[in-house]
Amino acid sequence: MTPERYRRISAVLDRRQPDLTVLLENVHKPHNFSAVLRTCDAVGVFQAHAVTDRNALRGNRHLSAGSRKWLSVHRHHSADSATAALRQRGFRMLAAHLSDRAVDFREADYTQPVAIVLGTEKYGVSNETLALCDSEITVPMFGMVASLNVSVAAAVILYEAQRQRAAAGLYDRVRLDPETYRRTLFQWGYPRLARYYESIGRPFPSVSARGIVAERHAD
């Protein structure tokens, strides 16, 4: 890892937001799934979540622009387990859903720990998952169509979250805890070497301020 790459990775990690995330409920179309992840990476989401009944999460590499390398996706087998895990970490659940209860997405507070819940391309967030959410938000529509594509809706909402967080200064300081920051920096900078250390159950070596590993190994 060159010093320039080290600085680039560090600059991205410095702005990652561990308390901003999305929960995708059975969003299976690869181009939508990947596009949402690409936006997540762009606004500094650290980890995304997905409820899926499929054996694997597949994304379109071209559309995601490699964002899967920089954004982990935690898979859940049910909305119950997903919301329980997120609530345990203090997240509020905001469902992007068109209903009489939904408020303009710009009225929500995204400076607190928040998970934006997005549903299937055809049916939206399920009734079961809606019952688990704190509130519902919607993007106002003035045309003939009733809703946006799920990846477009995600982008619109996430950039409002980014706007609010930037105004609150949440991108101006490191938000990740030191151990998570150290491990992620090593995994991003030395992915093959990180997998090697994980396979033998050894802790990652330290990395200097110039991105040099304390223990020399080819990567």
Interior/surface letters 70-85, b for 16+ CB within 10 angstroms, e for the rest: bbebeebeebeebbee
Q: What is the pLDDT of residues 111-168, one digit of tens each?
A: 999 999 999 877 888 999 999 999 999 999 888 777 788 999 999 999 999 999 999 9
> CA of 136: how far to CAs of 107, 150, 185, in Å?
11, 15, 35
Band the pLDDT of 3: cuts 50, 70, 90. confident
**Helical (H) or strand (E) element with 161:** helix 150-167
218 C-beta neighbours (distance < 10 Å), count = 5
With 60 as the cut, is the pLDDT of residue 218 above it? Answer: no
Confidence of residue 219 (pLDDT cuts 50, 70, 90): very low
Report domain extents, the chain. 1-16+176-219, 17-167
pLDDT of residue 67: 57
3-state SS class at 137? strand
State what percent of residues in the chain have pLDDT above 90: 67
Residue 66's pLDDT is 56
Instruction: Tell me the C-alpha distance between 152 and 29, whole Å.
Output: 14
Phi, psi values for residue 81, rounded to 5°? -70, -35
Kindly report the pTM of this predicted structure.
0.87
CATH superfamily of 17-167: SPOUT methyltransferase, trefoil knot domain (3.40.1280.10)
Cα 84-151-130 angle, rounded to 5 deg: 35
> 189 and 9 in contact (C-beta within 8 Å)?
yes
Tokens 């070497």, located at residue: 193
Return the higher-pLDDT residue of 99 and 147.
99
Closest CA to 27 of 57, 55, 4: 57
- For residue 173, what are the CA distances in angstroms to 45, 118, 140, 184? 15, 28, 33, 17
pLDDT tens-place string over residues 30-83: 889 999 999 999 999 999 999 986 654 554 444 445 556 889 999 999 999 999
Report pLDDT for 215: 63
Q: Which two structure tokens, joined as six digits, stand for 16?
A: 């990652």
